Amino acid sequence: MLNNPKARRAVSGLLDPPAKLLLRLHISPDAVTVVGTLGAVLCAVLFIARGDFLIGVLGVIVFAVADLLDGTMARMKGTSGPWGNFLDASLDRVADGAIFGSVAFWAASNDHMWLAAGTLIALVAGQVTSYAKARAEAVGAEANVGLVERAERLIAILAALVLAGVGVPWVLDIVVWALAVLGVFTVIQRVIHVRKQLKPRTETL
């Protein structure tokens, strides 16, 4: 879920013992990836969507950390490769949809329509940001640019939910709309970046 090299390196020492234990129990890295995503989705839908932000965020964080184990397990097992990256990235989109969708559902259910709208924009922009990178790589370019990537989006929304849960609700509106605006800007950045790479190729054809 937090498929970020820096995050994985920062906690690698802590992940080795539980990763070894899970492998001894014959639990596969793919299973950990799926369980981590399902756990995060359930926490979002069951708690965040009804306004229980603190317990919902705590659950998401627990499963996000657990999901960091999959890469460590794959490395130890010698099975790391394209399939694991594909599965992890695909399920990341599911988790993102559940978290931001749950916030939008709660906002709409409580007549916070501007918050609901901003959350949906942030969600779509985040999904397009990831899709743009994947499509760029598929056509022989790269799109590793942008102000807001997945790790930043997730940390920001979870932190805002915690603050809302302890009685500072206005922070959630500010963070959501910041993510919405920066997310759209990031998409534009990636489109321009890829266009600059591919335009010379089309002109030579």
List the catalytic residues. 92
What is the C-alpha R_g of the chain? 18
Q: Are the C-beta atoms of 36 and 71 separated by less than 8 Å?
A: no
For residues 59 and 48, give the distance between their C-alpha atoms in angstroms, rounded to a whole number: 10
Backbone CA torsion sign across 94, 96, 97, 102: positive
Q: Which two tokens stand for residue 156?
A: 């920001």
Q: Which two tokens stand for residue 164?
A: 């809302």
Tell me the H-state helices in the chain: 5-10, 12-24, 29-46, 53-67, 69-77, 82-109, 113-138, 150-165, 170-203
